Structure 1
């Protein structure tokens, strides 16, 4: 129960109003040490409830120690404006019975309006690194009173090339601050470097490992002959799978646009989202999906970063992602907080090696599935194995060669007849044998 953590009564009232009863595993693990003021590095999958895991302790801290004359006391950094806006809404929900105010600082919005809002001195500032750094450099945002720095979705921020901005902002905050770093994956070497630079004696909380992510999510692959075959499979899946909302991922915006046309032609209510779409178009896509006017969103990884849509229960990888972590981000959009979901990857010959490397990275084996109505000829790479008969025949020939060498070889005292090059048996490159070396006259074998 949340009451067991000693949270402020106004926060408990908000939790009761919002029907929050039992904390999730990440909240159970992170709230107590966060309340103690410890630095944390938390790895927890998307949709596990980690926003409340850091929002509740920082709000409790602000309520316990009121400082009306201070500047911003909490800074929360996120990779995209959509995630920042969603976090602002969560802060406002949990702080609804308090006087704590929060401000939003992101790109794509009016700079002057944000500067005016910052002059009202909100206690909590939520933003994206680039715009926060802009306000910091122009003096409209001061970080000298920051007590808690939160880096949420830190692995995504590094993927987007924001590590330098994050480090500059962290350096501008007081050294004695509390820092909470959350990520969906353990990340690569770069995340470790950032963590060591911003955290002091952190407590490490690994709520999931690569090999047990998304336990409520079934992961399948379907082989395809080519792109056109993939398109037919995609149409079949969207027509026959039971789902509320689906996300289809491609690696390029050209492919995303093509799929949008293909699906609309088959009366699928789909919307495409990629890097060339404006911020208004991004907002429109999310809003239409939530309202139900569309139920399929086709997106590239860059465009989909930060889109937190709760009702997605089907993810289809039309193109395999280029890394295991990106795969985790994609499929993490389905099967959230105890809900079941399905992730399907369409695999042709150009995708197989990438898919296999992701299986090894996650230490998983994806379920192989066939669509009988659209079954193609490609079923994965063929395994070339010598038959038992052929292998026995090779051994027999090798035995005869050895016997012949013993009888008529150079060491037997009998002259051995040398075969000309044209009489030598042909040796196929790559069949497991090496051509015999020419022997100098008079040398013995052995």
Structure 2
């Protein structure tokens, strides 16, 4: 409000839109016929986010008399020429189309007083760096610039140093990264069981009146799961990157107006989609980047509401769960008797037997489903090749965790005592190391094989014991190194923020 440049770090749903609109209205006051040109500029990474900002601008500023316009790629540029000639006070735009319009109209931005870069980290992730630098060079020196971001990557810090003047850094809920109202559940299962687990969640865990967004790796999974849910009697909407704009609007509209309560999306397609009253996020495929997880689940538990994020974790994704907890600075909870929040547990097969039988029946009666599943499997192979690799230490830790997971509390009613005991027995067998070899078990004292093994033990027992001690020592050192790296990551983040202040 005092006119200083600002870098604000805030989670999705923390009220940042109002935080930059109210000072904008206060600064511009009302429409001025004497001033010819834009006075306020808001740049968004996606058309959906820009449209939502436009809607909020109209609602919040309806008594100010200020004129706002939206400039987006995909709309008729001729109409946008006309819009600019109507002398709007505020422009809400995506960078690519706005720069195109500036060049086509040879338009000057001499009267811009207030500039906002909304979700700036995503602006750079989506490749708008060059356009942003071009736009900022066309802006007048005397202006107030605000940059809102969930994270502070180095490229963004460099941009802030170049484009902002002595910015004030505001950190809102940065240390927690996730809302305190958000409940997390990590469900370990085989890749082939994920669809059955998804059906179980939608039919037996999540109330039918709640709205859920399901994140999948590829558009092929969107198409496959859309058919599965439809065949199972669950209506859903869907969005992916290459979907036609008209179909996209219709699909999102159905979900927003609660004609459907399930939305299937890919990460690229979900950028900019804002559902204020969302109840659940389901990670059908676990993200390979911790920051992407934060972006996904940041869509729920907003503005004081509660919400839940369910993550289905296959064996090859376990290392990413370890990476996430390191990033969040949290311990992994595997105790099955703990509360559901944050527990990393397994899915007992007995819990999803009904869903498994249903899926077998659906595939046997529908050749199209079989074809869609095959396409999705092929798409997954390409996706796995392109996703980020986890660290060797996280992979090792994930393998250890996989052997110690208990049934998740969500499935408590299905986990009969016999099932729990059976699982514990199998887990114990995986880690069992016998004290005798097969040559010694049930051998007579005169057996040659037993004598050979006793001789071997006498010679190498001390060597084996030494190696085991070294292995245990190495594990302890690796755990200390992991803690040290986590501390360095926190210090680097604080240092980057200090650099920005300087």
Give the TM-score of the pair, scaled to structure 1. Answer: 0.76
Q: Secondary structure at the match of 1:214?
A: coil
CA distance in 1, matches of 2:270, 2:31: 39
Query: What residue number does 1:126 align with?
Result: 92
Q: Which moved more, 1:350-359 or 1:338-347?
A: 350-359
- Would you say 1:367 and 2:343 are equivalent positions? yes
Q: Deviations over 1:264-307 (max 9, x none)?
A: 11111112211110221221122101222111010000000000
Q: Is the 8 A contact 2:7 2:167 kept in 1?
A: yes
Query: What residue number does 2:402 align with?
Result: 381
Aligned to 2:230, which of 264, 270, 273? 264
Q: Which moved more, 1:237-246 or 1:112-121?
A: 237-246
RMSD: 3.0
CA distance in 1, matches of 2:133, 2:432: 57
Q: Which moved more, 1:55-64 or 1:293-302?
A: 55-64
**Change in CA separation of 1:231 and 1:401 when aligned onto 2, cut-off 3 Å:** closer
Aligned to 2:153, which of 188, 192, 200? 188
Query: What residue number does 1:199 align with?
Result: 164
Where structure 1 has 5 or more consecutive residues not aligned to the other structure, the ranges are 1-34, 403-424, 434-446
Q: Deviations over 1:105-128 (max 9, x none)?
A: 001111100110101110101100
More helix by share: 2
CA distance in 2, matches of 1:79, 1:401: 63
Q: Is the 8 A contact 1:223 1:380 kept in 2?
A: no
Aligned to 1:350, which of 316, 327, 331? 316
CA distance in 2, matches of 1:349, 1:370: 11
- Would you say 1:314 and 2:314 are equivalent positions? no
Aligned to 2:115, which of 149, 158, 169? 149
Structure 1 residue 389 displacement after superposition: 6.9
Structure 1 residue 368 displacement after superposition: 2.0
Aligned to 1:232, which of 196, 202, 207? 196
Q: Deviations over 1:166-197 (max 9, x none)?
A: 111111101221100011x2232222222222
Q: Is the 8 A contact 1:289 1:297 kept in 2?
A: yes
CA distance in 2, matches of 1:307, 1:327: 16
Q: Is the 8 A contact 1:211 1:362 kept in 2?
A: yes
- Would you say 1:77 and 2:53 are equivalent positions? no
CA distance in 2, matches of 1:205, 1:397: 67
Query: What residue number does 1:214 align with?
Result: 179
**Change in CA separation of 1:102 and 1:398 when aligned onto 2, cut-off 3 Å:** farther
Q: Is the 8 A contact 1:118 1:141 kept in 2?
A: no
Q: Is the 8 A contact 2:186 2:310 kept in 1?
A: yes
**Change in CA separation of 1:388 and 1:170 when aligned onto 2, cut-off 3 Å:** farther
CA distance in 2, matches of 1:210, 1:284: 38
Q: Is the 8 A contact 1:118 1:140 kept in 2?
A: no
Q: Secondary structure at the match of 1:350?
A: helix
Query: What residue number does 2:491 align with?
Result: none
Query: What residue number does 2:29 align with?
Result: 63
CA distance in 1, matches of 2:135, 2:461: 77
Q: Deviations over 1:377-426 (max 9, x none)?
A: x9953378797979xx9xx9589879xxxxxxxxxxxxxxxxxxxxxx9x
Structure 1 residue 345 displacement after superposition: 0.5
Aligned to 1:253, which of 211, 215, 219? 219
Pairs aligned (count): 369
CA distance in 2, matches of 1:166, 1:57: 22
Aligned to 1:273, which of 239, 252, 272? 239
Q: Is the 8 A contact 1:244 1:311 kept in 2?
A: no
Structure 1 residue 369 displacement after superposition: 4.0
**Change in CA separation of 1:297 and 1:210 when aligned onto 2, cut-off 3 Å:** farther
**Change in CA separation of 1:204 and 1:397 when aligned onto 2, cut-off 3 Å:** farther
Q: Secondary structure at the match of 1:351?
A: helix
Where structure 2 has 5 or more consecutive residues not aligned to the other structure, the ranges are 333-341, 354-398, 405-429, 437-453, 473-502
CA distance in 1, matches of 2:212, 2:31: 45
Aligned to 1:340, which of 297, 300, 306? 306
CA distance in 1, matches of 2:195, 2:24: 48
CA distance in 1, matches of 2:462, 2:185: 51
Query: What residue number does 2:409 align with?
Result: none
Query: Highest Rg: 1 or 2?
Result: 1
Q: Is the 8 A contact 1:210 1:363 kept in 2?
A: no
